[in-house]
Structure 1
Amino acid sequence: MRKILLLTSILTYAAFASPYARCVSCHGANGEKVALGKSKIIKDMTKAEIITALKGYKDGSYGGAMKGLMKGQVSSLSDVDIDTIANQISK
């Protein structure tokens, strides 16, 4: 019974977790940090800039020093996830 409750809790959390949750450790809860001392402060970016950056990281056409790291972070994001992140963070 405990295993079922634990699995249900995990699945519920995963279903409702923000796609931005994976970004918080480097970029901060509100996009206020310079990630690893190299990134832009993403809360200052427009929605269009965030979408362009995330899609570019995903297809390999965007990025500098953190391009490889970011490609791994965004590779599983859907267009809906990208839009959700952009809405949450943008000006």
Structure 2
Amino acid sequence: MRYLTCVGVLFLVLVMGAFATAQADGRSVYAKCIGCHGVDGSKAALGASPPVKGQSADELEKKMHGYVDGSYGGSKKVIMVNMLKKLSPEEIREVAEYMAEF
């Protein structure tokens, strides 16, 4: 019984650590976005885009992939393309999840 309790606690710690790491990665990626989107995502980037605050992770991730593949974005999309093409799909997902918490 003691063994099972120890294994259960260890599993819980590992799962919580993985979640915290994903959040930290999303936060560190977003640090590069603060200048245009604001600390809490409420700023309209370059006065041209809607704030990211209040959007779901799925919406944000879809839009970011759209910038990368050319299927989304307005006249100033080259700025976003240059930022996002440096990120892996996992980083895009993590930053989308982080921004969805605003």
Question: Could you say what the CA RMSD is over the residues aligned between the two structures, in angstroms?
Answer: 1.5
Runs of 4+ in 1 over 6 A off after TM superposition: none
Q: Which of structures 1 and 2 has the larger relative contact order (alpha carbons within 8 angstroms, sep 6+)? A: 2
1:61 aligns with 2:66: no
Gaps spanning 5+ residues in structure 1: where?
1-15
| Equivalent residue letter for 2:38 | G
Q: TM-score, normalised by structure 2?
A: 0.68
Q: How many residues align?
A: 76
Query: What is the aligned counterpart of 1:39 among 33, 38, 49?
Result: 49
Determine the C-alpha separation between the residues in 1 that align with 2:34 and 2:42: 10
- Which structure has the bigger radius of gyration? 2
Q: TM-score, normalised by structure 1?
A: 0.76
Structure 1 counterpart of 2:94? 84
| Equivalent residue letter for 1:45 | Q
Structure 1 counterpart of 2:35? 25
